[in-house]
């Protein structure tokens, strides 16, 4: 849940028409299902900028300032300090606490961190466009799940700690420093491989939020699971994101470039047969499975043009086939189906190309 980050006359026209056709087949509104009208669904989306509030405190009186911030962020602040920043302050708000006088003080004053706060401020002077997408997504979510309570959004910075979106106690935390775009030069310095950069864009935020919500709805324990179970779980997650964000491109939802998505569409049968012929669907060895459900430069054993995380894409196709064959089922019934072998049979999945 990760490129959109970026002859003679007759042949040129044909190329344009072909591109239009491809876009029509796999574009951001690429669902053949009729979309529900959610314009009447009221969503009250509240957000706070913890990144701004934290960097604005008096660094000569940090402990005193933390008391005020805890009051502003009662459901999230200590989780942020102790878990996301690993400071282990544990509400011991006294200046003599080394976690404050050394740890947090360094985070707020060290020049590299200060530059990170400044960079986030430049990239995100406001979050209105993020919240416009989230608001629309929550309208669809409340259409399908009327009892769902919209979480509060809290924006934070973790010091490139790889915390993109986290869910905690009714709060959806969004680490803006992990969404600074593919050209941000310091992701490499903290060990992020280049193939991950596509997931570090503003366009990736809404899909990451709704992927996290799906995980909240349907927690998945990956121990002792088969690859087929992983594919179906990942496919369901992607299908959930598609249903909640039908206005977001398929590329942005899964974290592929347009070229990668076209390659998958053109080679769907080959991809599925690769798993069948290599007897991988019931593989339980995580070291063999992870390359299919994790991002990478490509998929080992497939052509170099193949993207990583291809099992997630394949899982989505299986889930879509299941939905088509079982159109009477509700979303919740689809997601609740746990028998993956039965799920695959009911899907009648047979890619044609």
Domain ranges of the chain: 50-123, 227-347
Which helix (H) or strand (E) element contains residue 272?
helix 268-277
At residue 197, does pLDDT exceed 70?
yes
At residue 353, does pLDDT exceed 90?
no
At residue 194, does pLDDT exceed 60?
yes
Average pLDDT of span 265-294: 95
Give phi and psi for 255, each to the nearest 5. 85, 40
C-beta contacts of 268-276 below 8 A and 24+ residues apart: 268/314, 268/317, 268/351, 268/352, 268/353, 269/351, 269/352, 269/353, 270/353, 271/302, 271/306, 271/310, 271/313, 271/314, 271/351, 272/314, 272/349, 272/351, 274/301, 274/302, 275/227, 275/311, 275/314
At residue 9, does pLDDT exceed 60?
no
Closest CA to 264 of 29, 21, 26, 4: 26
Give phi and psi for 15, each to the nearest 5. -65, -40
Question: Is residue 257 a contact partner of residue 198, using CB atoms and an 8 Å limit?
Answer: yes
pLDDT at 24: 37
**DSSP single-letter state for residue 198:** G
Residues in Cβ contact with 293 at an 8 Å cutoff, skipping those fewer than 6 apart = 227, 230, 231, 234, 309, 311, 312
pLDDT at 8: 36
Average pLDDT of span 66-76: 96
Average pLDDT, rounded, for the chain = 91
What CA–CA distances, in Å, run from 177 to 43, 136, 165, 210? 27, 24, 11, 19
Q: What percent of the chain has pLDDT over 70?
A: 91
At residue 29, does pLDDT exceed 80?
no
Dihedral of alpha carbons 129, 134, 140, 146, sign: negative
Q: What percent of the chain has pLDDT over 90?
A: 87
Please tell me whether the overall predicted TM-score, pTM, comes out greater than 0.75 for this model. Answer: yes
Environment class of 331 (CB within 10 Å of its CB; exposed 0-12, middle 13-18, buried 19+): middle
Question: Distance between CA 82 and CA 89 in Å, rounded?
Answer: 6
At residue 273, does pLDDT exceed 90?
yes
What CA–CA distances, in Å, run from 213 to 145, 149, 165, 241, 247? 12, 11, 10, 9, 18
Neighbours of 47 (CB within 10 A): 15
Closest CA to 230 of 344, 137, 352: 344
Question: Distance between CA 265 and CA 255 in Å, rounded?
Answer: 15
pLDDT at 32: 55
At residue 143, does pLDDT exceed 70?
yes
pLDDT at 27: 39
The two structure tokens encoding residue 146: 């009327």
At residue 4, does pLDDT exceed 70?
no
Dihedral of alpha carbons 189, 83, 52, 105, sign: negative
Environment class of 326 (CB within 10 Å of its CB; exposed 0-12, middle 13-18, buried 19+): middle
At residue 28, does pLDDT exceed 80?
no
Average pLDDT of span 85-113: 96
Question: Distance between CA 225 and CA 282 in Å, rounded?
Answer: 8
Is the model more confident about 178 or about 3? 178
At residue 83, does pLDDT exceed 70?
yes
At residue 35, does pLDDT exceed 60?
yes
The two structure tokens encoding residue 171: 């709060």
Q: What is the pLDDT of residues 287-328, one digit of tens each?
A: 899 999 999 999 999 999 999 999 999 999 999 999 999 999
Residues in Cβ contact with 234 at an 8 Å cutoff, skipping those fewer than 6 apart = 293, 311, 312, 315, 316
Average pLDDT of span 19-35: 47
Average pLDDT of span 61-74: 96
Q: Per DSSP, what are the bridge partners of residue 175?
A: 156
Residues in Cβ contact with 83 at an 8 Å cutoff, skipping those fewer than 6 apart = none
Q: What is the pLDDT of residues 147-179, one digit of tens each?
A: 999 999 999 999 999 999 999 999 999 999 999
Average pLDDT of span 214-226: 91
pLDDT at 104: 97
What CA–CA distances, in Å, run from 178 to 87, 203, 283? 19, 12, 33
């Amino acid at each position: 849940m990760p490129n959109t980050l970026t002859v003679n006359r007759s042949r040129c026209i044909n190329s344009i028409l072909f591109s239009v056709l491809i876009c029509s087949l796999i574009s951001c509104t690429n669902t053949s299902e009729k979309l529900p009208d959610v314009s009447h669904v009221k969503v009250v989306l509240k957000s706070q900028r913890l990144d701004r509030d934290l960097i604005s405190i008096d660094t000569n009186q940090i402990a005193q300032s933390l008391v005020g911030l805890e009051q502003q962020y009662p459901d999230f602040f200590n989780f942020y300090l102790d878990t996301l920043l690993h400071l282990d302050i544990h509400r011991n708000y006294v200046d003599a606490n080394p976690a404050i006088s050394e740890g947090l003080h360094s985070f707020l004053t060290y020049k590299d961190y200060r530059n990170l706060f400044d960079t986030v401020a430049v990239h995100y002077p406001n979050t209105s466009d993020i919240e416009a997408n989230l608001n629309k997504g929550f309208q669809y979510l409340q259409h399908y799940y009327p009892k769902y309570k919209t979480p509060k959004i809290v924006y934070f910075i973790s010091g490139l700690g790889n915390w993109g979106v986290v869910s905690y106690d009714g709060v959806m935390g969004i680490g803006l420093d992990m969404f600074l775009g593919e050209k941000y030069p310091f992701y490499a310095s903290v060990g992020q491989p280049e193939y991950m950069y596509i997931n570090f864009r503003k366009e990736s935020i809404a899909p990451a939020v709704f992927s996290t919500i799906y995980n909240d709805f349907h927690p998945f324990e990956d121990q002792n699971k088969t690859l087929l179970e992983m594919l179906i779980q990942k496919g369901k997650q992607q299908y959930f994101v598609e249903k909640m964000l039908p206005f977001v491109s398929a590329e942005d939802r899964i974290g592929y470039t347009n070229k990668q998505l076209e390659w998958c569409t053109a080679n769907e049968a080959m991809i599925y047969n690769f798993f069948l012929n290599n007897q991988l669907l019931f593989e339980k060895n995580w070291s063999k499975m992870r390359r299919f459900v994790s991002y990478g430069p490509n998929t080992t054993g497939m052509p170099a043009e193949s993207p990583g995380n291809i099992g997630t894409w394949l899982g989505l196709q299986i889930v879509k086939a299941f939905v088509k064959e079982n159109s009477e089922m509700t979303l919740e019934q689809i997601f609740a189906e746990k028998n993956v072998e039965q799920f695959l049979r009911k899907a009648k999945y047979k890619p044609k190309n």
